[in-house]
Each structure stands twice: as structure tokens, then as C-alpha cells.
Structure 1
Amino acid sequence: MAHTGKLAQANSVVASDETVTFSVPVLALVKAAQQQHGLRHGDYQRYHQYVSRKLRRMRKSLHFQQGNRSKVLPKKLTSDMVTDPRFLLLKVFEIERSWAYAMQLKADSNTEFRKRFQMISRLRKAVLRGNQLSELATELPMLDAQTKLELQAYIQWIHGVLAFELQDWMKAKEFLEATQAIYAGLMQTIEEDNRGVYSARVDDILPQIHYCAYNIGDKSAATDLQRMRAQTTTETGGLAELQLDQLLSQARASQAGQVTEVEWLGMTIPVKLEKAKMAILTVKDSDQELLGMDNHNTKLSVYESVLKACVDAIGAVRDEIRAALSTEGAVAAGADKKMAAAVAASSSTDKVSRLQVLYAYLQYLKISKTIERTLLHIKGALSADGLEAAGHVKDGLGTSSFPKPQELSRLYDTLVQNLQELIGLPGAVQEHMGLKALLQAKIVAYRSYRCYYLAFTYIHGKRFAECSALLQRSRRHAEEALQALSPTTASWTDTESAASPGPSCDQLITELTSLITQTEAEDLTCRAVYMLDLSDSGDRPFDTSESENKLSQKVLLDRLDHYVECNAVEKSFTTQPYPFVQLPPHFEPVPVKPIFFDLALNHVNFPSLTEKTSTGTSKGTSGLSGLVRGWLWGSGSGTDEGPSHS
């Protein structure tokens, strides 16, 4: 079993001549079971199933079964039956089973409200079993003082949980403070190695005590909750962080009535939906929380809770808009023309327009917080342990030796997409041209960073031409962004500048100036690495071997603009009689006295003799047809000259 060592400690007894003493570390056993079986991640269902199986095994080993498979026969545990300390653990884990099932139902009651009644019923059963355990403990003289105090603290705690869920703040605060006092007293009496469990238990109870005090009327308790939330880390466990988030959300729900409107870019937006009020309060409180936080993971968890609240509010406003539009369409379709015109001009249309403005504002909040979270991811990636010492980061920028430049390039690409979504928001953003110009300048700035880190992915693959081209493009984008962000060309107001998410203009100008300097250095480094790589591989960076041989045959004066290897230059000293200049020098044309030639006869045209040469040849020939006709019929001349027979 998982708790063999601690159960052995629980089963250990101190024997004497007359009495037997039981020493049971209740809190240590319970916390170990919770951490190992689901509650480290808030999985109450898994823990409830584990406790049920554990109780079945314990009853079987103690021969204290509640009937058989076909029939249930409940047995009451009396002091006479307690001959083993495991009987006390049996009662403790019965309370744990009821509590775990109640917390499981509480998680489901957000969507199914009826489950809250069943949750209260299970907590009442846990309190009833706690009272039975308290009566049993008073009748057992063999329990030592520490075990009695732990059982008393555990029973007080389960009473406080029930009062907390019933919103009986006075009783809940009283029970929880009693539990805290008992555990604080135990911390002073036990060994230092075992104090961690009790200290963690006190830290778990404190948020609930502060929340009870806040509901009673102590307004400073909400600040204490925020401070405790800021101090939570990943080492404290996700369950404490989840409980603090739930308590803070409940505290904000009580403050939601104070939010009636919000100012955005000179507009006053009325806020009536509860989820929208909760989201706005969450954003305001998170700004104060983040200022006092140093832990990177804690900041990310705060951003996650803020974005979750914004998404819920956006969904609620979207549903409200759809309901308003469907209601307006139904009324207009079922009435005559005059009634339809009246409905179109009624307050329903105004409500839809107000909801659309609120929807755009919530979208703006969500995108802004997403941008801030992405910038936090970038800062965390560049500030990792050892990056600065290893030379991977310089002046806040990852160098060409940065291990994962593609991750930073992807993050900056996400920033560009988020800013483009922000520019595309309808309504107030489209009306403020200065804000759009500032967002566009930031897009160009983040594109320069995207090209900068994308270039390093190519240099890791020894694609130096692409790397150099991307570095040059990064420099051009940075110079363009600097020109757009300069105070001389700025067209935005202070209100528009404050509404733009991310760093301020002055901070961005400083970062871009450093980026330009770093880009120039990285480009030179890329070219140098390219030359060294070619030298190591034996390739020639500029000319082939054939063209280099031709160059080596020329004298030095004729090839000053070309690079030739040292071996070829030394070879030319031995193969050429005059390697530096051409001797004798080449002849060059010079101006002298001109020589005249009589070329007029070349341009004289003589008359054509074609007609005279073609006349004689046409009379002397009659062709093949005439020869055949004369042979068959005789010549034409004899016929004409002979006498006629008349």
C-alpha cells in the first residue's frame, strides 16, 4: 500500500505494564492520501473512489464489515471495539469520503444547481460522523495528547467547511480559526521535520478565514486574498491556487454591483450583465496583482484566469445580443407596418447597439491581455537561467546561438496576428485613426523581431543567404517602425497611447535601436560564418577553378578587383616572366594625322543591261512542244509555202 510507513507508525503502540497508548498522525495520513490520489490536480472524483476502496479494505481487514453483498447491517463503533488504531482511521476516512463527494458535487453545481443541495447533504453527513468521532475520542483513554488534538482540529475543520458553504460566515470563521490555533500550537511541540504538514494546512485555511472576514465586513480581507494569491507558486500545489481563485471570484461577485459603466476611448459604456462586470473587475484587480508579483508561472496563471473571465463574459454578451435580435424580429414580424416602425425605433435597437459596443470592449480586453501574456512568454524565454551567462542573450535580444529561435519567431507572429485583430475591431477603434496608426507601427516593429529570430533558424541549417536576407529585412522593418514611432511623426493622443497594449513608444524605440545594432552585427557574423564554412569545405566563394586559372594568368595590374587564392598568386610568380605588369605593354590607339581614301567609285551605280540580253535568247528557242509538233505534222513553213489544191 502507498502509506505503509505511516500506517506502521499509526499501528505502533507504546506498551507498559498497565496501559497501551495509540499515536495516530491523522493529518499526515490524510494529506498523503490526498496528494497521491487526485487532489494534487483537484480531481475529487478520483480521490472519492480511492477512499471508498480503502474503506472496504480496512473493514475487511478489521472484520468490521457492514453486512454482506445482499444486505446492509450498519454497525456502530464503540470504545470497547477499538483495539487497533486503524478503527480511528476508519472513522476519519468515512468523513473524508463524504467531504470528497461533496467537493465533487460542488464542482458540478456550476452547471446543475440542484447538485448543491446534495452537496450540503453530504457535508451534513460528514459533520455527523465528525461528532460521532469526537464522542468516541473522549471515551478512549489510550489516545495520546497529539492524536486527540489532531482529531479535534480535523472535526473543527469539517464543521467550518459546512458553515462556509451555508454562508454562515461568523460560525465558519470561528471553527476555522479554532482549527488554525490547534495546528499552530502543534507546530510548536513537534519535531521540525514534521512541521511542514501543519504549516501547509494553516496556509490552506487562511484564505477561507480572510474571505469570511471580508463577508462579515472587513474590506481589507480582499487585499489579503490578493496578496496570498500573488505569493502562491507551483510548489504550493495547484489545489491551493484553485481555492484562492475561487475565493477571489466570489469576492469579486459581491463587488460586481459597484460596476455600472466603464470608460473606453472617450466613450461611456453601460454594463448590466453580471459576467461582464466580473470580467471588468478581474482585469482591474489583475493589473494590481501583477505589479506585486515576481514569479513567472504565477503571472501566467493570473493571465489565464483573466482570459477565462473575458471569454465567459464575451459568450454571455453574444447570447444576449442574439436574444435581443430574435425578440425584435419576432415582434416586428407579428405586427403591422406602423408597429414594426415603432419597434425599430424603440429601446430594443438601442440595447443591441449598447451590447455591441460592450462586446467590442470585451474583445479589446481579451486581445490586450493575450498580447501581454505573449510578451510575458517572450520575456520568460529570454530570461531563462544560464542564457545570459552562456552568451545566448545580449541587450535583451537572443543572439544567433539562441537554442530555440523558432519559438520566439512564432510568439512574435502571434503578436502580429493579435494586433491585426485589434485593428479590425468595429466601433471605437475604427474611429480613432491615431490608435490605428500606433497599432500599425507596433505591427511593423514586431515583424522586425519576427524576421530577426526567423533568420536564426536558417543559420542553424547553414542557409546563409536566406539568413542574411531576413536580417536585412528585419533592419528595414525596424527603421520603418522607428520612423513611425518618432515623436515628430506621431499622430496619436495620450489616451490612444494608453489604450494600446504592450510597451510604450519610448520603450519600443529604445528596443528597436538596440535591434538595429544587433542586426548589423549578426549580418556580419553570418557573412563571416559563410566564408569560414566555404573555406572548411574547400569550395570557392566567388569563382570556379576554371575562371581562377584564367585570372592567375593575368598580371596583377589587370586583376586588382578580383580575389585569387594565395597558391595561385605564388604560382603566377614562377610561370609568368612579368607577373606584375605587362611587358612589352599592349598597343593602344592614339590620335595621328588622318589618311584619306577615294571611295567615290564604290557608290557609282551603272545602267542595267537586262533587256538587251533577254531579246536574243527568246527568238532562238521554241521549246520541246514545237519540236514534237514539227516531227509529227511537219513544219509550219512548208504548209504555208506549198500550192493550194482548189
Structure 2
Amino acid sequence: MPISLDLLFTLKETQLQHGLRAENYARYHQYLSNRVATLRRQLKLSNDKKKFLHREVTATNATDARHLVLLALYAERCWAEAESILETIATVKRQETAGASKGNAPAGGIPPKEQYRKRLNKAVVWAQKLSDVSAAVADPRTQIEAKGYSFEAVGRCALSHGRFADARDAFKQARDFYITLQPQSNESQWPIVMAKVGELDDRVVYCMECLGEDPMSYRPTQHGGVAAQFAVTVKWNRRNLNIFNVKVKDTLREVQQSEWAAVKQRALEAAAGPIPIGTQAKVLEVLDRTMGLYNDALSHARTDLRSASDSQRQEQQLLVHYLTYHVALLSLERTKFMLEVFERRYRSTVDALRSTAGGVKGAKGVKDFPLSQYASPLEVIRLCDAGLETVAEMCLLPGVGGNDEVESWEQALTSTKLYYSAEANRVAGDRSVASTQYAKAKSILTSSSSVEGLARRVDEGLLSLSAENALQSFQQNATPGAKFLVDSLDTPAVASAVTKFPPDYQAVPCKPVFVDIAATYVDYPGTANAAPPPEAKKNASAHQDPQQAGAPEGDQGAQGKKWGWGWGWGKK
């Protein structure tokens, strides 16, 4: 019974699970070495400890799919080692360019460049052996996959030696083998085959560019009624466009891997209130990066359009229109995200101002809403104008004007602009203009439900405006005095002879302070030169010592100095 092996799926799964998802060829080579040793031991192809026995997989002893897997892993191991050596060469060159020492360079032996080519030559030998053994023992699908894999190995080897013409022909032959697998492939196998075909087309175009040939002239033939899908196919105006430029294809592949829509959705659903600045910056970074990729692809497509022949000009022009539309579409998505950001800020600003003015605690998070993030309706209006300009540019492209989706975008932006214009006029006091704008926004939203929640906010604005108009008219028509409205059936009336309670506040003085302004001008007598009273003189003479009464001042001073050191006697 022929051996059946899904070669492409097995190799692709092995590569993605063991290092090549991150382009780690050293890790992939290490895994292949361990896996080969395990398979040799399981298939009893390992050598004895004391004697070498040459055991290899041949058409006579290949009875299991693991024999074919072993040959494929031999080729993959050589290719992985070659790529690892190439990375080492690139690292050494970068270090030399930066002025670092050449300590990592091998001292003698085969140069790294020759080692790289030597391993690729060995990979070709193993891939050719896999093809020969498969032709003898495998089923037709496995034989085709093995032949395509062998030609792919030959192309890689020729490319390393600089033989671009041989590499181009080998890659074309490998592609022809892979494309014939379509009738024998199911829904899970065919995408892997087409991914491999796309890789080979990129290599063919690269070889043509190195040879100085026109890549636009590469048109693979059809095989078995299967269309040549060698390029990334996009749909524009009910027409499939094939992209031949490698740079455009690589850029669009990166765009497909971008998750800007998921990042934007998570940011909007994370919080019901204002979006944090860090989250906003992250979303804008992803959107700007994706838009940069589209702009790069558009520049390459315009370059191809200038050099395209007359037969290819129409297709290239449609491709430019396709990329221009997606650049404008992504710009519109960015504007819509910023609209949502500033709408939330404006609603939080209104809540914060109401809670501050009324002295009532606002909603959760309103108290901590920073002043730097306050937003006005004018900022939202400017974003709506930018979005409408983007939609107008999109409508200039053929086939875009009159599209239902584009018209819904235009209606949503117009109604949003009218609503916030009415809000701005209502705050400024121009209620007549605000009422007209509210009515226009409501009429647009009645015919289109493109904006969720905006119709409810328009109704709330109309009610608030009607209430303000009624209150203003009542205040203008009211007579002076304390009058209050009372309900009299269906007609409101003004009550009379009603005493207001509590009474109004009145200004009264509290704790008056009296100041004598003449006190600063009164000259009071001093006490420095005042004479002592007579009674003080009599007391002083009565208590004086009789022996010292007639003594001169000098003796009294000497006696004071003599005993001045003890117990404080003689102090003056």
C-alpha cells in the first residue's frame, strides 16, 4: 500500500511550533537534531556503540511515513543551520560597521559564507533523495509535494550562489508542482498550498528584479483549469485585482495582521465614561501605523502606474483607487474614534459643571474628572467637518459615490455636527438657531438610524430648550412682587395674597467696631524726669545708717565694692 504523507502541513506545523514563528533558526535546528535522533532510534537506524554501520532510508526499507519524515527533517535541518549561519554573518557585519572588535569571527577554517552554501548544498541532496524514495513508495499527492520541495531546495541553493536565473526557473517549477495539488486538496490543505505558492511567487519576482527583468511581465500559466493566484487578490468595484509588486503584497499582508479594529473595540468597551489618555494613545498608535502601511503601498502602486504599459495601466489605476479608498477609510475610522472620545469628554464636562453649580454630587467619576480634559462642542464640530471632508474625497473615486454605506456615514456626521452646533448655540443663548438645528438633526436621524443614542440626546436637547424658553418667557411676563404659579385645572394661574416664607435675606451690621481716630494726635506726659513724691524722701532718710549718713560718696562706693562679691550686697 502506498505511503501517504501530508508533507507541507507536517513541515509547516513543525516550523511554527519550534522557533520559526519568531524566526529563531537556531532553536529550530536544535529541535530537528533531537527529533532526527529520536526517529533513527525508533526506526532502528542508529549505529552501535562499538561498530559503525551505514544505515540509511532507501526505497526497499521505507515502509512507514516516518521514513519520509526523517528524510524531510534531514533537509530541513541543513536549511535551518544555513539560515542560522547567515544570521551570524549579518551580526558580525553589523558589529564591524559599528566599529566593534572582530572577536566573534572564526579563526581559520571555512569562511561562514562558504559554510552557509555548503549546508544548502547538503539540503538539496536530502530533498532529492526524499523525492526519489517518494516516487517509489508514496501516493501521487506525496510524490508531487516531494518534487515541489526538492525544486524549492534547488532554488534556495542557486540563490545563495548568485545564480538568479537558475533560482527563478527552479522556483517556477516548484510552483507548477504545488499548483497541481488543487484537485487533490481539501478545504484545510488548500490554504497551506496557496500560501506556499505565494511565497514562491515572491521569490520569482525577486529573482527577476535581480536580473533586471520587468516583474510585471510575470504571468504564471493555468494548470488543470485552476486560475493563477500567484498574487494577493483584492476585490474592487466587483472586480478581482491581482497585485504583482512584492512590496505592495508584503505591505498588505502586514495590514491584514494588524488588529486595529479589535484594539479600538476593546478601548470603547473598557469604560462607559471618558477614555483614559493612555488607552487613547495606544489606539491612535495602531491606527497611525496601519495608515502608514497603506500609504507605503499606495506610493509603490503609483510608481508602478507611472511605468506600466498601456495594457496594464487600467488594472494599476484600479489598484491605486483601491488603496486610496482604504487610506481614506482608515482616516475616517480614526476621526470616528476621536469623535467618540470628545463626545464622552463633553458629556462628562456637562455633568461635572452641573454637579459643581448645583452643589449635588454628580455621577461616578465626575468628581475626579480633570479640568484639562474638559471639552466643548466646537471640538466635536471640527472633527465632524474633518470626517465630512474625508467622505467627500472618497465619493470622488469611481464607484464609491451613491454607496449606501458611504451615505450612512455622511448622514451620521451631518446629524452629529448639527446636534453639537445646537448645543453650542443653546449654551451661548441663541435659542432660535439652536431649535432649528435640533429639528434638522432630528429629521436626518428619522430617515436614518446610523448613530445609536444620538436621537435620544436630540430629544433631550429639544426638551431642555423648550423648558428654558418657557422659564424665560414667564420671568419676562411676571409682575414685581412675590407671585407663584399654582395649578388650576388645565390652565396655570398666578396666586395673590400669599406671604412668602421664609422671608428674604436682609443686610444688617454684625459686631460693629468703634475707632477713636483722635487718639493718635494726643501728646501724653512722660515719666522719665518726674520728681519723687515727698513721702518717698522721708522714708529713705529714716532707714539710712547713722554712721554713713555723713560719709562722703567715695567711702560708700569703696564699701560697696568690698562686699559686692557676697550675697549681692552693695548692688545699686
Output the TM-score relative to the length of structure 2. 0.45
Output the TM-score relative to the length of structure 1. 0.40
